[in-house]
Amino acid sequence: MQTEDQNDTDVNLPELLARVEFDRELLREVFQIFTEEFPAIHSHLKQAIASGDHRRTLANAHTMKGMCASLSFSKARASALRIEQLAEQSAVEKLPIELAILERDVILAQASLERICKEAVR
């Protein structure tokens, strides 16, 4: 069961709000973009890892890292960074596990942010 603290660390809200200059509309907009784009990038990353293509793994992990960083998904960003580093080192055996961790971290972060956005509307 996730605690309130864990949910909060999934998304660094003060940092995120400062980045969007407290524009809730902009926040909802970029969250929407993330939600729409994430499945495709995740799928590319998964395929790249499965096929052992380190170059594509690196590129997609980099993009994923950037997107998570932009929304202050701290844990997810750290997971994406680990995948990037593993791909650079060609440490293929750990990639599937790290991908699973990344998926979990993104889902948790999305849920947190969604809740935050709904609370803001109320």
Partner 1 sequence: MKILLADDDPVSRRLLERALERSGFDVVCVADGESAAEQLLAPDGPRMAILDWVMPRKDGPAVCKLVRECVGIPYVYLILLTAKEAIGDIVLGFEAGADDYLTKPCNPDELQARMRAGQRVLQLQDSLLYEAEHDSLTKLPNRAFFVKRLATCVRKAREHAGYQFTLLFVDVDRFKSINDSLGHLVGDRLMESVAQRLLEAVRTETSPSSQTCHRRKNGWPGDVVARIGGDEFVILLDDFADIKDGMRVAERIQEVLRPAFHIDNNEVVITTSIGISTSTGQNTNSSEILRGADTAMYRAKILGKARYEVGDSQEAAAAADRFKLEADLRRAVERDEFEVHYQPIVELADSRIVAFEALVRWRHPELGMIQPGSFIPIAEETGLIVPIGELVMRKACRQTHSWNTHSPSLEPIGICVNISPRQFGEANLVNRIKTILDETGLEHRCLELELTENLTMQDVSRASQILAELRSLGLSLSLDDFGTGYSSLSYLLRFPIRTLKIDRSFISEIENSRESSQIVQTIIALGHNLGMKVVAEGIETEAQMQMLKTLQCDLGQGYLFSPAVDSSAATAILNVGISGTFPMRHSRRRAQPIPVIKIVAGSVASLH
Q: Closest CB to partner 1 among 96 and 120?
A: 120
E strand segments, 30-105: none
* 3-state class (DSSP) for residue 3: coil
Q: Closest CB to partner 1 among 19 and 46?
A: 19
Instruction: Give the shortest CB-114-to-partner 1 separation in angstroms.
Output: 15
The residues that touch partner 1, with contacts defined as CB under 8 A, are 18-21, 23, 26, 29-30, 33-34, 37, 59, 62-63, 65-67, 69-72, 81
Instruction: Give the shortest CB-69-to-partner 1 separation in angstroms.
Output: 5
Instruction: Give the shortest CB-1-to-partner 1 separation in angstroms.
Output: 30
Q: Could you count the other beta carbons within 10 Å of the beta carbon of residue 112?
A: 20
Q: Which two tokens stand for residue 36?
A: 């729409």
Dist CA 35 CA 57 (whole Å): 20
Dist CA 5 CA 10 (whole Å): 9
Are 79 and 102 in contact by the 8 Å Cβ rule? The answer is yes
Q: Closest CB to partner 1 among 81 and 83?
A: 81
Dist CA 23 CA 17 (whole Å): 7
Q: Closest CB to partner 1 among 7 and 70?
A: 70
Instruction: Give the shortest CB-99-to-partner 1 separation in angstroms.
Output: 19
